Amino acid sequence: MMGTMQPIQGAAVAHDGKKTVAMLRRRPNESVAQLLARLDEAIAKAKATGEPVDEINTQSSNETYRVANPALGRTGAGRR
């Protein structure tokens, strides 16, 4: 999934059907092709390490985001 996950614009999310594998935030001036290339790298890293890559939920964030229903592309948010 690529698009807006309110309030985050320019998010790219990969889900394997069971869990979220990668959640990336588009960088300033980053093209869609560059974002997709980083997403491919993040998926490979997550498969190799068994740990998801998450640029959306950071230590400084008071909110957490996850894919609530990947089939519908809906997201959920909650306070930490």
pLDDT digits (tens, 9 = 90+) for 46-74: 999 999 999 988 766 565 656 555 555 55
Give dist(CA 15, CA 22) in Å, integer: 7
Give dist(CA 13, CA 21) in Å, integer: 8
Asked if residues 52 and 46 have their Cβ atoms less than 8 Å apart, the reply is: yes
Domain that holds residue 47: 2-79
Tell me which H or E stretch contains 40.
Answer: helix 32-49
Q: Give the pair of three-digit tokens for residue 41.
A: 């790298």
pTM: 0.70
Helices (H), the chain: 32-49
Count the domains in the chain. 1
pLDDT digits (tens, 9 = 90+) for 1-51: 777 777 788 889 999 989 999 999 999 999 999 999 999 999 999 999 999
